[in-house]
Amino acid sequence: MTYSFNPDTVSVPSGHHIGGKFVELPGEEIVVLRPSDEKPMGVITDGGLGSVEMSVASAKKALAETGWATMVPRERAKILFRFAEKIEEKAEYLGRLEAMGSARLVSGTIIGDAVRTAGVVRYFAEFCDKVEGTVTATRENTLSYTKREAYGIAGAIVPWNFPMITAAWKFAPALAAGNAVVMKTSEITPHSLLALAECAAEAGLPGGLFNVVNGYGHTTGAEIVRHPDIGIISFTGSTQTGEAIMKLAAESGIKPVILELGGKSPQIVTKNCGDMDMIATRVANNFMVNGGQVCTLASRLLIEESIADELTEKVLERTQDIKAGPTWDETTTFAPIISAKQFDRIDNMVQETIAQGAEVLTGAGRLDSVNEGNFYAPTMLTNVSRDNIGFLGEFFGPIVTVSRFANLDEAIAEAQHPVYGLAASVHTLDMQEAMRVADKVEAGMVFVNQHGRDPEFTYTAGGFKASGFGKDMGRAGFEAFTREKAVWINYA
C-alpha cells in the first residue's frame, strides 16, 4: 500500500459537531495551518459558551430520549462496535486528515492512529456489561451494596500531539460507561476529531451523545469546565493548564477532574544494556519520535560512566540519520514542530538552557535541510544542572539532556524529578537493576528495555506529582467515568 498523498485532495470537515451533525456557529475565526508547510487547511470558530450550551442541551435530550445510561448494556456495546467498524472503514481518510493537520507521519497514522482509535473504542465497548459493584459485610437483615453509575455528561479537553488517540482515551470510556460527552478539540488540530464525531453519527450513535466543539482553551475550554451540568472533566495537556482547570473546577461548584499532564521523563542506560548499536537506535528514537512532541518523551538520558562516550557517539550519529519532510510523504522519518509559536518557545528554552551553562553536543536550532514548516534539529545537550531551566521544564521538542552516573543508586537519585513524575525507563539485561528502577523511580509508568507502551489497550496511563492524577485506559480509565453509589437496605 502506498501511504503518500496529496494534501490538497483531502476534504476537511467544517463546523462544530453537535447533536449528531455539523453546525456552523458564530465566533472568532481561527485559521488552522498544516504544520508541514504552514498552509491553511481550514477555518474553525471559537464556539464559546453558545457551543457548550448547545452541546449540553443536546446531550441532556439524548440521554433522556435514548436511556443511554440504563439501556441493556450489550445494546450500548453494539452501537460502539459499529462506531469502531466505521472508524476502520474510514481509516485511510482519517489517517490522512491526521497526518495533514498534526505532526503525525502518514507512515503511521492510518494503522497507528486511526485503526488504533477503533481499537480503543472496541476495547471500552467490551466494558459495557462488565461493570460490577460489591456487597459488603453487614448485620443480619440488611443488605449493603455498591454500584457504579455514569456521571451524566462528561467534559473532555485534549491537546494537539495525538489528536485522535488522546481523544479516544476519553470519549470511548465515557460513552461506554453510559455518559454523554462534550469535548473540545485542540484549536491547533481540530479536524480529525471532528471527523471521528461524524463516524459516530454515521454508525448510528444517537445524536447528542458525542458532541465536539472547537475553540480556544480560555474561552470554550473554560466554559466546559465551568458548566454546572457537566459532571466530570477529563483533561490532557500541559501542567500549567491543568492547574487552571483545577482552579476553575473548584470555583464553579466542585467537580472531579482527571489530569494527564506534562513530563520530563528519564531513560537510564546501564553498562548491562546489551547490544550498543541496538540501544543507540532505541534511545535516539525515544527522544526524536513525533518531533519530540510526546508527553512521555525520554527527554533525559542517563548513561553509566563506562559506556557513556561510546553510546553518546552512536546516538549522535543517529540524530544525523533522519529524513525531515512533509507529514504526508511516507518516506519522512522526522516530524515538524506543530506551529511557529511552539517552535519559538522551544528555541527560546534551548537558548536559555545554554545561557545557564549547558553544552551543545548537536542541534540547538532550526534544521537547515528543509525549507518549509517548523523543523527543529534533533538536539543533545549536556552539563545541564538540576537548577537549569533545561532540567526543570518541558521542551516538548526533539531535545535530550545527557548525563552520566557511576552506579545505579546515583542513577535513581538523578532520575527523580522535583516537579514531574510521568514516565521512566531503564535499559538493562540485569533483572535486579530493572526491578530496582521500577520500584524506586517516582513515575506513573515505568518501562524496561523500551520507552513507551506497545499498541495495547490494557495498560493504564497517567502520572505522579505535577504530571497529573487519575488514569486513562485500562479498567481504571473506564471506571474513571463512573461514580460509586453505596446502597443500604434494612429488610428486618
Residue ranges binding ligand NAD (CB under 6 A): 157-161, 166, 184, 186-187, 216-218, 221-222, 225, 236-238, 241, 244-245, 260-263, 295, 394, 396, 422, 461, 463, 468
Q: How far is the CB of 217 from ligand NAD (least distance, A)?
A: 2
Could you confirm whether 260 is annotated as catalytic? yes
In the complex with ligand NAD, the residue whose CB is nearer, 22 or 216, is: 216
Cβ(127)–Cβ(355) below 8 Å: no
Q: DSSP code of 114? A: I
Q: Which of 223, 260, 394, 433 is catalytic?
A: 260
Residues facing 145 on adjacent strands: 135, 487
Cβ(381)–Cβ(354) below 8 Å: yes
The C-alpha angle with vertex 242 and arms to 240 and 243, in degrees rounded to 5, equals: 70
Q: Is the dihedral of CA 296, 302, 303, 308 positive or negative?
A: positive
CB-closest chain residue to ligand NAD = 217
In the complex with ligand NAD, the residue whose CB is nearer, 308 or 445, is: 445
Q: Is the dihedral of CA 269, 271, 272, 273 positive or negative?
A: positive
Q: Which of 198, 295, 304, 433 is catalytic?
A: 295
Q: Mention every residue, 6+ apart, whose C-beta is less than 8 A from residue 407.
A: none
Q: How far is the CB of 151 from ligand NAD (least distance, A)?
A: 18
In the complex with ligand NAD, the residue whose CB is nearer, 20 or 190, is: 190
In the complex with ligand NAD, the residue whose CB is nearer, 203 or 230, is: 230
Could you confirm whether 199 is annotated as catalytic? no
Q: How far is the CB of 250 from ligand NAD (least distance, A)?
A: 13
Q: How far is the CB of 122 from ligand NAD (least distance, A)?
A: 21
**449 phi and psi, to 5 degrees?**
60, 25
Q: How far is the CB of 420 from ligand NAD (least distance, A)?
A: 9
3-state class (DSSP) for residue 367: coil
In the complex with ligand NAD, the residue whose CB is nearer, 55 or 186, is: 186
In the complex with ligand NAD, the residue whose CB is nearer, 19 or 221, is: 221
- Spell out a b/e string for 285-312, using b for 16 or more CB atoms within 10 Å of the CB, else e: ebbbbbbbbbbbbbbbbbbbeebbeebb
List the strands of the sheet with 423-427, edge to edge: 359-362, 379-382, 399-405, 298-304, 265-269, 423-427, 445-448
In the complex with ligand NAD, the residue whose CB is nearer, 419 or 435, is: 419
DSSP calls for 69-81: TTS-HHHHHHHHH
Q: What is each CA distance from 417 to 138, 442, 455, in whole angstroms?
A: 45, 8, 27
Cα-Cα end-to-end distance for the chain:
69
Q: How far is the CB of 232 from ligand NAD (least distance, A)?
A: 14
Q: How far is the CB of 39 from ligand NAD (least distance, A)?
A: 21
Cβ(33)–Cβ(203) below 8 Å: no
How long a stretch of residues is the chain? 492
The catalytic site residues sit at: 260, 295
